[in-house]
A and B are shown apart, each in its own frame.
Chain A
Amino acid sequence: MRNRFAIFTGTALLFSSLALAQGGRGGILAANPANANKPYDKHDLSGIWTRNGTPAGYGGGGTCRDCGDRGYSNDVPPMTPLGQKMFDANKPSYGRNLGSPDANAHPEEHIGRRRAVPPANGTDPYQYCNPEGVTRALIYPDPLEMNVLPDKIMQQFEWTYVLRTIWTDGRKLPEDADQLRWWGYSTGHWDGDTFVVDSNGFDERTWIDHFGYPHSTDMKLQERYKRTAYDVMELSMTVTDPKIYTRPWISQTKKFRKLDTKDGIKTADGWGGLMEDLCAPADEVEQFNKRVRDPAGGVIH
């Protein structure tokens, strides 16, 4: 136990300094060398997975060293006039501060990553605790649990403690869904060793990622999951949304680390499993916004 703590502490400290230097690209690797020879089933995606850079998936910050960053992709396709209009209307609070020397020093980054404003002046939907949506939730570093059932896979995300359903019972996606959904409609199937998820029917108020890239209700999303080691799952996504982007937009490949389902995440008094990490209740969130968030951005109520 003492050794475990020592390794944990050292790794976390290392991560801290690396993450500070690399902006969330520090920390441990997705694959634990101790698991290198462990057998695994390529078609078993069940369990708790995290992109976070600390051993227990402790979140809110950076991803693990080779898990990819917190954005969808820096290689942004040219936008349509409507896409550009929606992009300009979104005011994110992540990335380099708008107009800062830091932002100006990184012209190689798409402007979406260099336009952060204080939340008091922003438009991020999750400032109001609205749902993150699929792509953003998958990119978030905190853990998610894949619960594999005979007819569906339920993804539960620790941050917001929300469930998303991926149907594997052979049904087809709705062609023109009457009721658009924050989490869309999703079906999944195996293509060799890759689990392919197709989704549509999205409410367009979610963002692709926390940098404020928009999508329309016409967005089609394909996710491709591949278990590449005992403790590593890779994900590549493709957004096809011709109303907004002039070509399909492929994500950076993201990696997830496997955590032990019972012991990978635990409260200090020993309760294992996903934490209940909620943006609730609404009145407490509103109080935080009025007494801290907004004054921090110069907005006094």
Chain B
Amino acid sequence: MKLKISILFALGAAVLLAHHGTGVSYDASKAYSVKATVTEFRYANPHPQIFFDVKDDKGNVVHWSGEIAPNPAQLVQIGWGRKRSEAALTPGTEVTLTIAPSFAGTPVGLIQKIVNAAGEVVLGAVALPGPAPAPEKKE
């Protein structure tokens, strides 16, 4: 099991840039963890999405949207097929999310990690927006 989690983490972390180029929208330097309640999960292309509620400092509920960088074709290779993923993230599920928020300041983020109430990592450590490609060497 530990091995499997390691693989999930490794693969998740390897996803530097989403297919859709959305990594540029999120500020990884301001990533933080927060408790949330899942309201909807969509295992879909081009990227799975998670919608969730978070209580702010004053106890108000804020509705958030989250992007998960690995897409279904990638998740299914590491053991997170549709059935298992949807079962793990049914509406009402309490989770702790690590979120890289949008630069725009909207309640949208790139989800870097999902941990359930039992402390298990769901979908692996799912994404980190990477830096731009380094310059090429002259050939």
Contacts and interface: CB of A to CB of B under 8 A. Distances in A.
A124 B44 CA distance: 21
B81 interface: yes
Contacts of B49: 288, 291-292
A59 B3 CA distance: 21
Contacts, number: 222
B33 interface: no
B11, B13, B14, B47, most chain A CB atoms within 10 A: B14
Nearest to A17: B13
Interface string B9-32: 111011111111110111000000
Contacts of A297: 25, 102, 104
Contact of B136 (A15, A59, A74, A129): A74
Secondary structure dominating the interface of A:
loop
A60 to B, nearest CB: 5
B77 A118 contact: no
Nearest to B4: A5
Contacts of B80: 268
A122 B6 CA distance: 36
B130 A122 contact: no
Contact of A298 (B19, B21, B104, B135): B104
Interface residues of A, number: 83
A165 interface: no
Contact of A285 (B45, B106, B130): B45
B128 interface: yes
Given A6-B3, A58-B77, A295-B102, A113 B108 contact: no
Nearest to A120: B25
Interface in A110-124: 113-114, 116-120, 122, 124
B34 interface: no
B76 interface: yes
Given A19-B16, A119-B22, A119-B25, A12 B7 contact: yes
A62 B136 contact: no
A29 interface: no
Interface stretch (B52-60, B63-71, B89-97, B114-122): B63-71
Contacts of B44: 284, 287-288
B130 A56 contact: no
A298 B79 CA distance: 34
Nearest to A21: B131
A238 to B, nearest CB: 13
B16 A296 contact: no
A23 interface: yes
Contacts of A126: 20
Interface in A4-63: 5-6, 8-9, 12-13, 15-16, 19-20, 22-25, 27, 53-54, 56, 58-62
A85 interface: no
B77 A268 contact: yes
A93 B22 contact: yes
A214 B130 CA distance: 24
Contact of A25 (B19, B69, B133): B133
Given A108-B135, A159-B19, A56 B73 contact: no
Nearest to B71: A277
Given A20-B16, A119-B24, A158-B73, A5 B132 contact: no
A205 interface: no
Interface of A: 2, 5-6, 8-9, 12-13, 15-16, 19-20, 22-25, 27, 53-54, 56, 58-62, 68-71, 73-75, 92-97, 102-103, 106, 108-109, 113-114, 116-120, 122, 124, 126-127, 129, 158-159, 210, 252-253, 265-269, 275-281, 284-285, 287-288, 291-293, 295-298, 300
Given A53-B14, A62-B16, A93-B22, 6 more contacts: A58-B11, A62-B14, A93-B20, A94-B132, A119-B20, A292-B67
- A-B pairs with lowest CB-CB distance, top 6: A298-B104, A93-B21, A12-B10, A277-B73, A61-B16, A275-B73
